[in-house]
Amino acid sequence: MIVLDTHAWLWWVSGSESLSAPARQAIEHHVSQRTVHISAISTLEVALLVNRGRLELTMEVADWIANSEALPFLRFVPVTNQIAVRSVNLPNGLHSDPADRMIIATTLFLGASLVTKDERIRNYPHVETIW
């Protein structure tokens, strides 16, 4: 089971070469197992990036997200109360970015690995990452 960080989701859906070979292989494997997850907080991040002009999509953001939601092998994980509290109570050593903390808490809640290029997250010893 894997969770895609926001940038990994964007790059994977767009077919970007920015994904590393191990990340791409992990995603392909988990697509076949139907065990690819995305934290709902990533939808907020994508919508904010579009709204602020830092990301351009080929369609409206709501349609882009709906297309991802329609993929049968992809599951969005809501930010539950349990995940929200866990994000606040993560072991020391992680920066304070709330979205990153929610994504990590989601990954830990699921017992999954996180696909991310973010070195700050990859250096955090309490979550297994793939890059």
Residue 112 has pLDDT above 90, yes or no: yes
Residue 13: what pLDDT?
Answer: 93
Handedness of CA 111, 32, 68, 46 (dihedral sign): positive
CATH topology of domain 2-130: Rossmann fold (3.40.50)
Residue 8: what pLDDT?
Answer: 98
* 91 alpha-carbon distance from chain centroid: 20
Of 107, 114, 108, 105, the C-alpha closest to 86 is 105
Q: What is the pLDDT of residues 2-47, one digit of tens each?
A: 999 999 999 999 999 999 999 999 999 999 999 999 999 999 999 9
Q: What is the pLDDT of residues 65-93, one digit of tens each?
A: 999 999 999 999 999 999 999 999 999 88
Residue 17: what pLDDT?
Answer: 95
Residue 99 has pLDDT above 90, yes or no: yes
Cα-only R_g, the chain: 14
